[in-house]
Amino acid sequence: MTRSKLTRQMESLSLDNDSDDSHHGDFESSFIDEFHGLAKLKKWKVGSKTWKRNWEVYTQAENERLSRNRAARLESWQQLCEKVGLEPPASITQCKKALNGIYVNMVDLCECWATGERPKKFKNAKQLASYTKSEGKFFNHNLAKENKAL
């Protein structure tokens, strides 16, 4: 699914029933930028119930786009290792072991597939939690658990 299709899908959900189609996605921009652009267009106040609900829908759509057929493929696990700065191991099991104890923000991790930038790594869960809270980069915990590659 391309960026513009994802944006149109969000708009077609008619989260506040505006039909302005002047906002079209750009695959090169991050999904966070896409969401903020859409939120600005739709005039969703940051932190409001509408904004939070739409953020959930948007992150879910991004998660589905990224996870489609990835969890079972060695190549996908190796790419994930590379994204967080690890030398890609030779098996899925080795990839999972290598990723154990790596602390990155899930929003940043999803975003890195579009931007090519590495997500910031943290020494422990406490530092990650502090960053997540200060940046407001929350990702639905249940979505992360459902996605085998995350």
- For the segment 47-77, what is each residue's pLDDT rounded down to a tens digit? 889 888 888 887 777 766 666 655 568 888 8
Mind listing the pLDDT tens digit for each residue in 11-39? 444 333 333 433 334 445 677 788 888 88
Contact 104, 81 (CB under 8 A): no
CA distance to 16, 34, 93, per residue, from 19 (Å): 9, 17, 47
- Whether 54 and 100 share a structural domain: no
Residues 99 and 130 in one domain: yes
Compare 144 and 31 and report the one with higher pLDDT. 31
Q: What is the mean pLDDT of the chain?
A: 74
Containing domain of residue 49, as a range?
A: 3-67
pLDDT of 3 reads 44
Q: How many domains does the chain have?
A: 2
- In a shared domain, residues 58 and 78: no
> What is the average pLDDT across 80-86?
92
